[in-house]
Amino acid sequence: MARSPSSELPFEVLTTTWACAVCGADDARPYRAAMYAIGPRTFDMVRCRRCGLVYCNPRPDSGTLGRMYDDEEYYTHGYNLGVEDQNYFERKDELIAEAEEEWAALEQEVGGRGAALELGSAGGFFLEGARRRGWQVAGVELSPPAARYSREELGLEVFEGWLADAPYEPERFDVAVADNVLEHTTDPRQTLRELRALVRPGGHLLVIVPSYVNSGIFRLLLAARAVLPRRLLGPQLCAMLKFGDGDGGYPYHILEFDRRTLVRLVESAGLEIVSVQGSVPRPAHLFKREDLSPVERLLRGVFVVLDALMRWRLAPPASVRLLARRPRS
């Protein structure tokens, strides 16, 4: 669950202003006020008039971002963004099993197994899924408790810190993964270039970003805020839809891509697009239990239909999965 805005600052909060991280323009209009909060300090989202990127401006400065990720609550509360009712580490077995399925699909797309790197490897469950299928795996993770967990509990090779400081040889990997990472970064193009350098020519890069906040569905909801009372939706749905002020908790997502802005960014980092697919992340608690209330059953149906519409490009995606390739020459 996201935390509610409180009157106290948990640590010193400094901010900085920035231009669009995709097209470089400093020409944005207000998009969503008070989307996130650290204590009483709220953060607004703006939208680039040139390319359509949505971003947090002013954003926390790098020192403040560091303090946000040092917070132990990141993986127990902030990480799920109100979507799940269990904390990340409690979902270990389920997430490793899901990862194995995702790697099986990815192997079809990239033509086999090899060495894989995950940026933002969290507790290491996605990498562990790959290792169980015969991949050689390594990770990079900024959060000390998460990096420690993946090394000590799973015995994975995980570097704790920034990607630029990671001790990995250039072109060591066949596949690099950035799953729900780019939206957290202050220079996503540079991050992609660093990943590109670590992948062999002809190797692949899998990028997954949330895109609900930069979608027509969210914009419709924003327009409805004036007439739709929060209590009608209930606290859980409100948090899931990021409907209430400060519902998103800390401003972890300082960038919000859509399909178009993500493709533009990836191409500008010197990568070729292989495939782009939209989907909606399914709340696990709606899909793994059978004792659902009628409302939950209805909600599960809505997710199934939405997911199909997004995969067929009939609705704006809540999540974009992009597979890219480093050119051979």
CA dist 191 and 15 (Å) reads 21
* Site for Zn ion contains 28 (CB under 5 A): no
Shortest Cβ distance from residue 55 to Zn ion (Å)?
A: 9
Query: For residue 111, is it left (φ>0), alpha (ψ between -120 and 50) or beta?
Result: left
Nearer to Zn ion, 47 or 184 (CB): 47
- Write phi, then psi, for 89 (nearest 5 degrees): -70, -30
Nearer to Zn ion, 109 or 267 (CB): 267
Taking CB under 5 A as the binding criterion, the range among 22-30, 141-149, 247-255, 264-272 that sits at the site for Zn ion is: 22-30
Nearer to Zn ion, 268 or 279 (CB): 268
Three-state secondary structure of 232-266: HHCHHHHHHCCCCCCCCCCCCCCEECCHHHHHHHH
* Site for Zn ion contains 19 (CB under 5 A): no
* Site for Zn ion contains 53 (CB under 5 A): yes
Burial class (CB within 10 angstroms; exposed 0-12, middle 13-18, buried 19+) of 112: exposed
DSSP 8-class letter at 313: T
Taking CB under 5 A as the binding criterion, the range among 13-21, 37-45, 87-95, 286-294 that sits at the site for Zn ion is: 13-21
**Helix and strand totals (H; E) in the chain:** 12, 13
Taking CB under 5 A as the binding criterion, the range among 6-14, 20-28, 139-147, 268-276 that sits at the site for Zn ion is: 20-28
CA dist 5 and 2 (Å) reads 9
- Within 10 A of 148 (CB to CB), how many other CB atoms are there? 14
Shortest Cβ distance from residue 207 to Zn ion (Å)?
A: 18
Q: Which residues contact 157 (CB under 8 A, 6 or more apart)?
A: 137, 138, 139, 151
Cα-based angle 12, 30, 52 (whole degrees, multiple of 5)? 105
CA dist 111 and 102 (Å) reads 14
Taking CB under 5 A as the binding criterion, the range among 7-15, 47-55, 106-114, 189-197 that sits at the site for Zn ion is: 47-55
* Site for Zn ion contains 20 (CB under 5 A): yes
* Site for Zn ion contains 137 (CB under 5 A): no
Shortest Cβ distance from residue 25 to Zn ion (Å)?
A: 5
Shortest Cβ distance from residue 314 to Zn ion (Å)?
A: 26
* Site for Zn ion contains 48 (CB under 5 A): yes
Q: How far apart are the first and last CA of the chain?
A: 47
* Site for Zn ion contains 263 (CB under 5 A): no
* Site for Zn ion contains 23 (CB under 5 A): yes
* Site for Zn ion contains 51 (CB under 5 A): yes
Nearer to Zn ion, 23 or 233 (CB): 23
Binding to Zn ion by CB under 5 A, coded x per residue (else -) over 191-210, reads: --------------------
Shortest Cβ distance from residue 195 to Zn ion (Å)?
A: 21
3-state secondary structure of 182: helix
Binding to Zn ion by CB under 5 A, coded x per residue (else -) over 84-123, reads: ----------------------------------------
Where along the sequence are the contacts to Zn ion (CB under 5 A)? Answer: 20, 22-23, 25, 48, 50-51, 53
